[in-house]
A and B are shown apart, each in its own frame.
Chain A
Amino acid sequence: MQSHSIQDRSVSVSVSGAGGSGAVTAGLILLKSMANAGYYGYMTRFSGPQIRGGESAVVLNFSDSPVERSARSSDIHFALDWHGFERFSDEIPLNSQSCVIFDNSHDALPDSVASTGAKIIEVNLKDQADQLKGSRPNAFAVGIVASQLGLPLNAVLEALEQILEKKGEEIFRAASEAVRTGYGLLEKKAAPLEQWKPVSHTRWNISGNEACALGALRASVKFAAAYPITPASDIVEYLAPRLEKYGGNVMIAEDELAAINMAIGGSFGGKPSMTATSGPGFSLMIEAMGLAIASEVPVLVINVMRGGPSTGLPTKSEQTDLNQALFGMHGEAPHVVVAPLDIADCVVTTQWAAGLAEHLQTLVVLLSDQRLGQSRAIIDAVPSQTFDLKRKILPVQDGKGSYLRYAVSPDSISPMAIPGNAAGRYTADGLEHTVSGKPSSMASDHLQQLKKREAKVTQFDYGRMWAEASFQQESTEIVVLTWGSVYHNAKAAVSELYHEGSPIALLGLRLLMPLQTEAIQALCKGKKVIVVEQSYSGQLYHYLKGQGAIDASALTLAKPGPLVLGSDEIKAFIKEAAND
């Protein structure tokens, strides 16, 4: 096991096994146990392409300070079996510092694992489980790992109770007995938690998808319609039972074409509305996204990106729907595209995004990704905040007035009439229209409405939310530009270099459209710029260059999914670039 300095008080654990072996549940219990003990943690999950039934794995990183990225390698790996483990060799790096514990009642130790030089410990969990009625191997594994971390048994039992609460007394009793037994199986280790300082303030155990959903609730989104798709389904699954008790509703659509149109209908009816999907569904929604823009109906579309094209990598992360989110619509369709930078930021950015849709009466696309969405972390509670972003509504009046739905105004945002208001009768239209909404194909009307739709999104003051800038100094020479789930690894790399004395700064973009070109230029002009992103073609890089936000001399570190761009790799790239 690695020695842990005071500065780097972290330890990493991974668990793998065949589908149904309970690797993910073991990870969830360990994460919660660590939280109960007063620490922070971050868990990512991996599965084979089949989502259910195949092998799965969790990778956890724990610390006594907030952590939102995986470690370079596993300090402890527990293999419930070796089913399909070779598929995780990239995601679960093992080395001579690792300790591998495995249940030897299934397959033998694979050569690929033996050859890493990791310390190997064999246990027979089948025998243990046979002796304890109703128990499952993963519970023993949790006990074993906890003992090797020096995690107090109480913290684990408490977590177990919280997680198994609904499964009944009997299952909980068998599982806690198994955890206890596991805890005593190997010699208990005091390290590495010995030096750690537990905290006692309120923290949250939350996934990125849940965080997005919470952000939507905070923004008073009252209607969502969706069709299931990995890795976005969790968002609406979280919302369904909650929105119902919060003055809203989730509608199960027959497909994504319906989902987005239902959301537009709900929004037209006066309720802040959204949908959530991933690549294939996002493609189906494109036409109606243009409708929301043309008819000026607010709608939030969350795309939890996975690898593409086509069905692509359904369970794995990539940042490759950027081009489509920016430019996918036919015609000229100004709208807003935002992306959260981490799990806590999913709450804030989604709330902001939903508010922007309402205020600007247009489409807002929020690009999350599988890594961000399906990772779970122990984070500090996200303080509530208010954005003053509300839909401008036509006051209710009797009798038909001379309402101009698409009137041109100084901020180009015209008050929207909500059905039921006699004074505001109009027909929302995806056809080009006059100020009153009457269909028109006249050049003057088209130009006027094009300008209006563009002006309202480009002239709006997005304030400080547009990006996170850090390590900025007078003497900055290098700027690393990144977005989404790559942010934390990029930040770690930049932070290390900065503290080693390098004149380097980081810019995490939250607002991708309309691009804050001048603000980016102000931070990047004359500097060495490196764009870091998870794509093969460098979509963000080319976009920023095309818009003139960065110079032709800018460099890019672009790598496709599903592999994470690690901080070491980013750091090495920057170092080499800096020396050029």
Chain B
Amino acid sequence: MIDIAGEKLSPEDYLSDVRPVWCPGCGHYFVLRALTQALAWLRIPNEQIGLVTGIGCSSRISAYVDAYGFHGVHGRALALGAGLKAVRPDMDVIVAGGDGDGYSIGGNHFLHACRRNMDLTYIVMDNEVYGMTKGQPSPTTEPDWQSKLAPEGTGIRRFNPLGIALASGASFIARGSAGDQKGLSRLIVEAIEHKGFSLVEIKTPCVTFRPEEKAWYKRMRKITIEPTDDMILAAQRIHGSDGFDTGIFYQADLPVFQPHFTEEKSIEDFEKEFEV
């Protein structure tokens, strides 16, 4: 997995010269660190990485990594990433974003990305809030969290990303914590190496709009879950978890969608079909 023979690479080798816009103490910094650490361990050439993001604080990450990045529109990163991977199977395509970007506005693409099971790594920086727009409830926010937009709480059940990914056909499903740097880097390495669609759902506190989330650093348990390819067992673990377990909940060898490009016809062949 790690090329120890070669020159040792560090996370800095994968950082761009753009300074993050994130608030001091934002959990997203740890995700950036874990991601660049994972890339350094894997020694993937920078130019072979495609990092595609949507819109949100988290989605800004594509500018901070020294790679081929795409900072697109809100909610569509998985589609853009799928298009990139479709034509460039040689690249390691990583899609990243927030809980709003991926589970709300981009929810449909999430389902179909799981189903398609392309060889993509999807990193969701879940802070259970819309950070960029200043603190509105997201699909993963608990029903009684009070905010300007929902003074009494939304009263709506939370979205269960892992459970939905499992039901939709994702072949690698993991949860990590921004507070466990090493564990998170390892999960990202596993996700990138996995052949198929890998979801890495990361609990990352929004210190500005949800300061109480800082408690996650203590509550999140370090890698407690071992991978299984048994869907029933995985479902039990996912639905039985209090949300603070980390690890790979499901990993299976499922058919991967990847178009192949062959060139056996000429334009004249197609024109001939029209001839009368």
Chains A and B bind each other: yes
Binding site secondary structure of chain A: mixed
From B83, B109, B261, contact of A273 by CB (8 A)? B83
Binding site secondary structure of chain B: mixed
Judge whether A203 and B275 touch: CB under 8 Å.
yes
Can you name 10 A-B residue pairings with CB atoms under 8 Å? Answer: A242-B265, A244-B262, A245-B264, A249-B261, A254-B109, A257-B75, A295-B72, A384-B267, A421-B47, A429-B71
In the complex, per-residue mask of A224-257: 1 if CB is within 8 Å of any chain B CB, else 0 = 0100000000000000001011111101011101
Judge whether B68 and A258 touch: CB under 8 Å.
no
Name A348-398 residues within 8 Å CB distance of B.
378, 381, 384
A217 contacts the other chain (CB 8 A): yes
CA distance A439 to B21 in the complex (A): 10
CA distance A1 to B109 in the complex (A): 58
Name B1-30 residues within 8 Å CB distance of A.
16, 18
Whole-angstrom distance from the CB of A102 to the nearest CB of chain B? Answer: 30
B91 contacts the other chain (CB 8 A): yes
Judge whether B72 and A35 touch: CB under 8 Å.
no
Closest to A250 in B: B259
Whole-angstrom distance from the CB of B223 to the nearest CB of chain A? Answer: 31
For this complex, into which size category does the number of interface residues on chain A fall? 35 or more
CA distance A32 to B275 in the complex (A): 11
CA distance A455 to B109 in the complex (A): 35
Q: Which of B50, B69, B87, B271: most chain A Cβ within 10 A?
A: B87
CA distance A179 to B158 in the complex (A): 65
From B75, B111, B261, B275, contact of A381 by CB (8 A)? B275
B80 contacts the other chain (CB 8 A): yes
B79 contacts the other chain (CB 8 A): yes
Whole-angstrom distance from the CB of A280 to the nearest CB of chain B? Answer: 16
Which positions in B face A, CB cutoff 8 Å? 16, 18, 45-48, 50-52, 60, 62-63, 66-73, 75-76, 79-88, 90-91, 108-109, 111-112, 259-265, 267, 270-271, 274-276
Name A196-216 residues within 8 Å CB distance of B.
202-206, 210, 214
A438 contacts the other chain (CB 8 A): yes
- 12 additional A-B pairs beyond A258-B108, A261-B79, beta carbons within 8 Å, are A205-B276, A217-B267, A254-B109, A257-B76, A257-B109, A258-B112, A265-B81, A265-B82, A266-B86, A381-B274, A419-B48, A427-B69
3 shortest A-B CB distances, which residue pairs? Answer: A265-B83, A427-B69, A262-B83
Judge whether A214 and B271 touch: CB under 8 Å.
yes
Whole-angstrom distance from the CB of A299 to the nearest CB of chain B? Answer: 10
Across-interface contacts of A32 in B (CB, < 8 A): 276
**CB contact under 8 A between A422 and B46, given known A254-B109, A269-B84, A438-B18:** yes
A481 contacts the other chain (CB 8 A): no
Judge whether B87 and A270 touch: CB under 8 Å.
yes
A157 contacts the other chain (CB 8 A): no
**CB contact under 8 A between A204 and B275, given known A420-B48, A427-B63:** yes
Across-interface contacts of B263 in A (CB, < 8 A): 245-247
Across-interface contacts of A417 in B (CB, < 8 A): 68
**CB contact under 8 A between A254 and B68, given known A245-B265, A261-B83, A288-B76:** no
Across-interface contacts of A30 in B (CB, < 8 A): none
From B60, B87, B112, contact of A222 by CB (8 A)? B87
A264 contacts the other chain (CB 8 A): yes
CA distance A246 to B68 in the complex (A): 27
